[in-house]
Amino acid sequence: MYDIVIENGRLITGTGNPWFFGDVALVGDKIARIGRLGGAPAGRRIDAAGCYVSPGFIDGHSHSDLFIFVDPKAEPKVMQGVTTENVGMDGMSVAPIEEKDIADWRQHISGLAGDPPIDWKWRSFAGYLDAIDELRTSDNISSYVGLGTIRFKLMGMSDRAATAQEVKAMSSLAAQAMEEGARGVSSGLIYPPSQYQTLEEVVAICEVARDYDGIYDVHLRSEGDGLIAGMEEVIDMGRRSGIPIVVTHHKAMGKRNWGLSEQTLRMVDEARSQGLDVTLEQYPYAAASTMLHAVIPPWYHRHGPRKLVDDLKNDREKIKKDIRERTDWENWASGNGWENIVISSVQSEKNKPCEGKSVVEIAAMRGQDDPSDAALDLLAEEELHVGMVVFCMDEEDVTRIMAHPTVSIISDGLLGGKPHPRVYGTFPRVLGHYVREQGVLGLEEAVRKMTSAPAQKLRMRSKGVLGAGLDADVTVFRAETVIDRATYDDPRQYSPGIEWVIVNGEVVVDKGVHTGARPGRTVRAR
């Protein structure tokens, strides 16, 4: 007697092999059997005729760290077939954290992770994961520990090289987080305080994570004018530390850098030919999204978020001059233009009309001649709680990167306000637009990039593949109808074609409707 039998479907195991007809039997939270089961008795039968049955999709780069406490049903994710998401990205995990540092850290990351009115009752990394398990979610959650978080805990926003003693202390914190379940370490090398870390400092901490079978997930120091140098740096980090490197949301940003993906992909291939484990992640869109205060040069962040807000009010002309003239950092405004930077989220009701409008449009609304004044005013008024979408990529680079065999699919979605459509549409977009309509990928290869590929990177050995004894995380979809409906103008739309989603053996999406079930749990590395 099986609990659930999914029958009559075309099975895509997640390995990249061709689909085949078969049934999937579930008992408890495991897959019990795969094959032609011939009407074997079951508590529930799901007729998947005309559908494909695949492992649940794994979102290896998510920013649900805090919003999962607001929406434990994880609807933006499970409604597009995601059964597991990984947080703690870009060096900015929400643990470990000291009581005295919470206010500053939550303000610093608010444009990225949001700042919902929840109690940060955890302090340790394990305490954060425990809080999620206590919450009960609809999908599974895993997390990296952020190197920026670790550095902030010991050094604040100090813009200097760490001492040998400080590096040792950071390595100990990383080891403790790995002991408590972190799947690896992450950096956002364009974001303070990760930005202040030297190659030697990162290598020393990565060596510790490597010994726990961890990985290093990294946002390059530059994805624009410094893209090639940024790739060279992280490949060198992998060479020196021996840790597997995942270059997250790989792209060539800014028109003058379009086409550079040909060179960066050759760099990945060459590194792998030398025995270095370097892989890539990508979201399937030509626009980026992050926190607006990334437009402020890093030297203004070194004294913390409260001093930065003060400088935005009182040191305006100096900041504007540096944005206008200096190129020794990832200058979003110079590289992409204020007209291509769109506000995605704010905290106050007063500035809600700014959501969905470019900085140039907001400047016009406010009667300001210089768009940088509008951006800096908004950051000051919102005390940094501002997200942005940036139109900065070329579609040829997007498709070229997508086809590379090391690439896995991620959403990297910021969930507040009027978000980037990738929050709601990433996985259906790949299946509908890039597989069915454009033919960039075959169906089985696309599913591999959403299932076994991220599972392998994250060392999730019981997920990402349909197989007996593995976790009962399953997504059933219709290949002829699945598509993303989310747009930049109207992003909060679910996608058709995702019929059933099963997490740990429980049906969470039933014929395209969320059941309210919350069987998710944390996926800890140890």
Structure token pair of residue 385: 């709680």
Please tell me whether residues 129 and 249 are part of one structural domain: yes
Domain of 321 in residue numbering reads as 291-391
Tokens coding 179: 């002991």
Q: Using CA atoms, how far apart are residues 438 and 284, in angstroms rounded to an integer?
A: 12
pTM of the model: 0.97
Interval 129-157: pLDDT, tens: 999 999 999 999 999 999 999 999 999 99
The answer, yes or no, to whether residue 526 has pLDDT greater than 80, is no
Strand partners, 26: 4, 31
Give 288-299 pLDDT, tens digit per residue: 999 999 999 999
CATH at residue 22: 2.30.40.10
Are residues 401 and 505 both part of a single domain?
A: no
* Residue 105 to residue 97: CA distance in whole angstroms: 9
Q: In what order do the strands lie in the sheet with 57-59?
A: 57-59, 82-87, 140-143
Whether 426 is in a domain gets the answer no
pLDDT of residue 274: 98
In a domain, 463, yes or no: no
The structure tokens listed for 82 are: 């995601």
Bridge partners (DSSP) listed for residue 103: none
Helix axes 261-273, 395-402, angle to 10 degrees: 20
Would you state the pLDDT for residue 38?
85
270 membership: H or E segment, kind and range: helix 261-273
Which residue from 113, 20, 129, 58 is spatially nearest to 281, judged by alpha carbons? 58
522 located within any domain: no
**Domain annotation covers residue 428:** no
In percent, how much of the chain has pLDDT > 90?
A: 99
What pLDDT shows up at residue 396? Answer: 98
Residue 435 in domain: no
CB 431, CB 446: distance < 8 Å: yes
> Is residue 49 predicted with pLDDT exceeding 80?
yes
Beta bridge partners of 391: 287
Q: Looking at the structure, tell me whether residues 247 and 326 fall in a common domain.
A: no
Per-residue pLDDT of 435-491, as tens digits, reads 999 999 999 999 999 999 999 999 999 999 999 999 999 999 999 999 999 999 999
Is the domain of 44 the same as that of 73? no
Question: Do 415 and 63 contact (CB within 8 A), yes or no?
Answer: yes
| Of the residues 373, 391, 409, the one at which a domain ends | 391
pLDDT at 345 over 90: yes
Confirm whether 387 is domain-assigned.
Answer: yes
Count of structural domains, the chain: 3
What mean pLDDT is predicted for residues 78-93? 98
**In a shared domain, residues 209 and 295:** no
- Two structure tokens written together for 287: 């626009």
Say yes or no: 199 and 274 in one domain: yes
Q: Are residues 92 and 193 in the same domain?
A: yes
Longest CA span, the chain: 74
Considering the chain, what is the average pLDDT of its residues?
A: 97
Which of left, alpha, beta for 498 (phi over 0: left; psi -120 to 50: alpha)?
beta
Residue 127 lies in a domain: yes
Same-domain status, 341 and 216: no
- Convert the pLDDT of each residue in 202-215 to its tens digit: 999 999 999 999 99
Contact (CB, 8 A) for 512 and 75: no
Residue 436 lies in a domain: no
pLDDT digits (tens, 9 = 90+) for 390-437: 999 999 999 999 999 999 999 999 999 999 999 999 999 999 999 999
Q: What are phi and psi of 290, to 5 degrees?
A: -160, -165
Residues 132 and 119 in one domain: yes
Q: 195 and 329 share a domain?
A: no
- The strand order across the sheet containing 245-247 reads 145-146, 184-188, 215-219, 245-247, 278-282, 407-409
**What is the distance of C-alpha 34 from the center of its chain?**
32
Same-domain pairing of 191 and 239: yes
Q: Which amino acid is at 7?
A: E
Task: Supply 126's token pair.
Answer: 């394990």
Are residues 349 and 405 both part of a single domain? no
